[in-house]
Amino acid sequence: MAEKKQDWVDWVKTIVITVGIIFILRMFIAIPIVVDGPSMLPTLVDKDRVIVNKISLMFSEPDRFDVVVFHATAQEDYIKRVIGLPGDAIVYQDDQLYVNGEPVAEPFIEAERADEQFNYTTNFSMADIPGNEEVVPEGHVFVLGDNRPDSTDSRHLGFVPIDQIEGMASFTYWPLNRFGLVR
């Protein structure tokens, strides 16, 4: 009888430790998410499963072109690409991104831009962004979806506070044919 009780105690310990490890992983290191919608095509596809790296934000802020997950509303997180960093002036003119007056290449959407009969990204400047700032404010980033014609991003939401960023998309793990790093 004592042996059965010890087995039961061992199982409870194992379950508690496992739950504790999962809790720590999800809170501080990485979380799985499911992409919802087409706004990050072609980089991420609707229903892709992605691991979001939370720990890197403890050591540095996001860089330009990182794919991040952030709290868009109290109920919903969005996944978008960082285009503008604090202090940057962002302008889009004739399908060309300008950061602080300098043209910047966006290799992750080159194929889509080449296929379109119209501008893939509509023209805008900082004056068109909610918040009416001349540059991206300190403590914020400017984000766009890779599927520019079908994305709710900083053009509509305004600047994203860095403290609302949950983490950076690291790799896709499902479906298996899309397994790999998020670029």
3-state secondary structure 78-140: EEEEEEECCCCCEEEECCEEEECCEEECCHHHHHHHHHCCCCCCCCECHHHCCCCCCCCCCCE
pTM (two decimals): 0.83
User: Angle at CA 66, nearest 5°, toward 60 and 69?
Assistant: 90
**Domain spans, the chain:** 33-181
pLDDT grade for 29, boundaries at 50, 70 and 90:
confident
The type of residue at 82 is: V
**CATH top class, domain 33-181:** mainly beta
Q: What is the pLDDT of residue 60?
A: 86
Rounded alpha-carbon distances, angstroms, from residue 183 to 1, 15, 28, 44: 57, 36, 22, 10
Instruction: Write the Ramachandran bin of 110: left for phi over 0, alpha for psi from -120 to 50, otherwise beta.
Output: alpha
With bands split at pLDDT 50, 70 and 90, how would you rate the model's confidence at 160? very high
Please tell me the distance from the alpha carbon of residue 27 to that of residue 111, in angstroms, as a whole number.
37
Write out pLDDT tens, residues 112-155. Answer: 877 767 788 889 999 898 888 899 999 999 999 999 998 999 99
Using alpha carbons, list the distances in angstroms from residue 78 to 33, 154, 160.
10, 11, 11
Span 24-37, average pLDDT: 78
Q: How far is CA 30 from CA 79, 127, 167, 170, in A?
A: 15, 36, 8, 9
Catalytic residues: 39, 80
pLDDT of residue 1: 59
pLDDT tens across 36-72, in order? 999 999 999 999 999 999 888 888 889 999 999 999 8
Cα–Cα distance for residue pair 64/45, rounded to 1 Å? 21
Q: For residue range 77-119, list pLDDT tens digits in order.
A: 999 999 999 999 999 999 899 999 999 999 988 888 777 677 8
Given a cut of 90, whether residue 30 has pLDDT beyond it is: no
pLDDT at 27: 63
**Residue 21 pLDDT more than 80?**
no
